[in-house]
Structure 1
Amino acid sequence: MSLADRHVTALMRQLASQDVVELVHPFAEWETLGALVYIAECYGFRFADVRHIGKQKSVCVRLVRDADPRAQQRAAANAAAFPQAGAGGPVPGMYQGSLTPVPEAQPDVDLITMLIRYDALGAAANRKQLITMSWAFPLLFVLLAALTGKFAVLLTLAALTPAFLLITLRVNEARRAKLAQRLTAAGCTPVRDEQGRERFVRV
């Protein structure tokens, strides 16, 4: 069984038994996550959000069951059309035995992938958190320097840390801005969720 088949089998098991599904594949490419979300949406789920978990900050994509009757009708139709999905058989929108989208599914998978990347960048580099860290860490290093007497190393860190964090913030914001342009061009709408996060939703 290929890695793609194992991903699909694990996904289909969750879709069959859970109303909330979390995809955590630490070494998966963005396109792989996009393809898995596409498949899940074919079976009555919708992309909810992204967060980072664990010490390695692995990407966790969260899906929830879609209550829209059209989503459930789509799920029933795909269950009938692809009876061996998750058991080595074909799945909607993908070439057999892979997570490579067929041409007609590629635009949807690309759009989902962009949504995941946009949310993941926002979760990875929270602006308020990075700004807070950019002044908190230098203060900590200065205090440690005063306590330990290791001024050369710790004062250097105090100077370099805020620069590194602010550069990270700038790079992150630039990447998100490019994705925001592409999402807007694709017809997505910018919104703020209940946590105040900037996100995009499909129309």
Structure 2
Amino acid sequence: MSLVERHLSSLMRQLATQDHVELVHPFAEHKLFGALVYVAECFGFRYAGVRLVGRHKILHVHLVRDTHPAAQQRAAANLAAFPQVGAGGTVPGMYLNSLTPVPEAQADIDLIIALIKYDALVEAGNPRQLKTIGWGAAALFLLMAPLTGKYAVLLPLAVLMPAFMYGALRINTVRRAKLAARLTAGGCAQVRDDAGRERYVRPLPYATQGA
């Protein structure tokens, strides 16, 4: 079984048995997640957000079952038209034996990728968390300096850590702004989730995608 078939087979098993699915592929590119989300949405699910897990911030992409009747009708039609996804059969929106989008699906997958990147930046760029880390580290270095006598090392670090965190926050903000412009141009609506985080929501996929 090829790597593509393993990805698809795992996805389809989860879609068949779960209402909430998390895609986790360490070291995978955003393109892979975008393609898998597209396929999942063809079979009755919708993209719901991301989490960054662990010290290495592994990306987890969250999907939920879409209970809207139109989504379920579309899923049933695709199950009938593509019965062998993950077992060597054709896949909606993809070239044969690959997760490379056909031209008709490319724009929607690009939008999904932009959403994933935006949500990941929101997760990674929590201003309160970054400022707390920066100033907390600075305070720690200042306390350690007189205890260890290593002023030449620790005092510069006390200055650099907050500056580094503010720089990271600024870069994150600029990247989010660029993605927000693309998402807005793609018809996405700006919302705030239950935690108060700024997000974007795509038009209903079953209203914009074919089977």
TM-score (norm 2): 0.93
Q: What is residue 132 of structure 1 aligned with on the other side? A: 132
Q: Quote the Cα distance in structure 2 between the aligned partners of 1:54 and 1:16.
A: 28
Q: What is residue 97 of structure 1 aligned with on the other side? A: 97
**What are the within-5 Å matches in structure 2 for residues 103-114 of structure 1?**
103-114=103-114
Percentage of matched positions with identical amino acids: 66
Give 1:101's aligned amino acid.
Answer: P
Q: What is residue 16 of structure 2 aligned with on the other side? A: 16
Q: What is residue 179 of structure 1 aligned with on the other side? A: 179
Q: Quote the Cα distance in structure 2 between the aligned partners of 1:167 and 1:65.
A: 38
Cα offset for 1:154?
A: 1.2
Would you say the 8 A contact 1:34–1:110 is kept in 2? yes
Q: Quote the Cα distance in structure 2 between the aligned partners of 1:55 and 1:191.
A: 28
Give 1:193's aligned amino acid.
Answer: D
Q: Quote the Cα distance in structure 2 between the aligned partners of 1:3 and 1:162.
A: 43
TM-score (norm 1): 0.97
Would you say the 8 A contact 1:23–1:60 is kept in 2? yes
Give the alignment's Cα RMSD to 1 decimal. Answer: 0.9
Q: Quote the Cα distance in structure 2 between the aligned partners of 1:7 and 1:151.
A: 52
Q: What is residue 33 of structure 2 aligned with on the other side? A: 33
Would you say the 8 A contact 1:137–1:161 is kept in 2? yes
Q: 5+ residue gaps in structure 1?
A: none
Cα offset for 1:2?
A: 2.4
Give 2:9's aligned amino acid.
Answer: T
Would you say the 8 A contact 1:13–1:86 is kept in 2? no
Cα offset for 1:11?
A: 0.7
Please say if 1:71 is aligned against 2:44.
no
Task: Kindly tell me the number of residue pairs found equivalent between the two proteins.
Answer: 203
Q: Deviations over 1:9-28 (max 9, x none)?
A: 11111111111000011111
Cα offset for 1:151?
A: 1.4
Q: 5+ residue gaps in structure 2?
A: 204-211
Would you say the 8 A contact 1:189–1:201 is kept in 2? yes
Q: Quote the Cα distance in structure 1 between the aligned partners of 2:127 and 2:83.
A: 46
Q: What is residue 150 of structure 1 aligned with on the other side? A: 150
Please say if 1:189 is aligned against 2:189.
yes
